[in-house]
Structure 1
Amino acid sequence: MFVLILSLICSLLIAVFAIQNAGLVTIQLFWVTRDVPLVLVILGSTFAGALVMLLLAIWRELRLKLRSKQNSIEQSQKSDPSGQQAISPLKPTDGAE
């Protein structure tokens, strides 16, 4: 709940800051030069930063899940004295039932 309230407060501050700075600025990237409102630059930069943070959080979660899965596999292999995991018998799938 605290994170949600903090996020809303930060979003409100960014929006107020962006609206108060609505003048035109010149943006140059390589050979392209454009005049755009500063509000779009501020909001675009904020969105890009949030997107990067989201992707980093997703990557971290996936890495932690993978590490946890590897640890559980290693634990199951250590608990099996033969060093092999038990394989469940499979039914033949020749299409005949």
Structure 2
Amino acid sequence: MQFIIVISMIFALFIALFAIQNATVITINFLWYKFNLSQAVVILGSALFGILIMLPFDIVKRVRFRIKINELNSKIKKLDEELSIAKETINKTKEDLDLKNQNNINIEQ
């Protein structure tokens, strides 16, 4: 996770440097509108727009992971309970066998 943050910060730094080096005023034609903006604003705005577009996909992915983690934790809890019941059953069976063996030994004597 930290590796991704470091890579993202380096990438953001490169975008900022690129935007600063290309800060001339340009004319943007969008549909029937014309805008005169700094090229740096266009570059940074495009990067921000890309982040905003990808954000919902990341949120959905995180929610799915959280749901899966909760399902797996529930399964682990259920299996732990089953394991403790099985251990109790084994211990009880061992105790019963020990008592039976002791009774058999006592009867033989």
TM-score normalised per structure 2:
0.55
By how many angstroms is 1:67 displaced?
A: 7.0
CA displacement at 1:66 relative to structure 2? 9.2
State the partner residue of 2:14.
13
Query: Residues 66, 3 of structure 1: CA spacing in aligned structure 2 closer, same or farther, 3 A cutoff?
Result: closer
Amino acid at match of 1:45: S
**Going by fraction, where is helix more abundant, 1 or 2?**
2
Note if 1:35 corresponds to 2:36.
Answer: yes
Deviations 1:40-65 (A, max 9, x none): 00000000001111111113334x26
Q: 1:7 deviation in Å?
A: 1.1
Structure 2 residue identity aligned to 1:16: L
> Quick check: which has more Rg, 1 or 2?
2
Query: Unaligned 5+ residue runs, structure 2?
Result: 73-109
CA distance in 1: counterparts of 2:13 and 2:62, whole angstroms: 28
Question: Which secondary structure does the structure 1 equivalent of 2:46 belong to?
Answer: helix
State the aligned residue count: 71
Distance between the aligned counterparts of 2:42 and 2:36, measured in 1?
Answer: 11
Partner of 1:3: 4
Helix, strand or coil at the partner of 1:35: strand
SS of equivalent to 1:22: coil
Structure 1 residues 1-97: aligned runs within 5 Å? 1-62=2-63, 64=64, 68=68
Calculate the aligned-residue CA RMSD, in Å. Answer: 2.3
> Runs of 5+ in structure 1 lacking a partner?
73-97
Equivalent-residue separation in structure 1 for 2:4 and 2:65 (angstroms): 23
Percent identical residues:
36
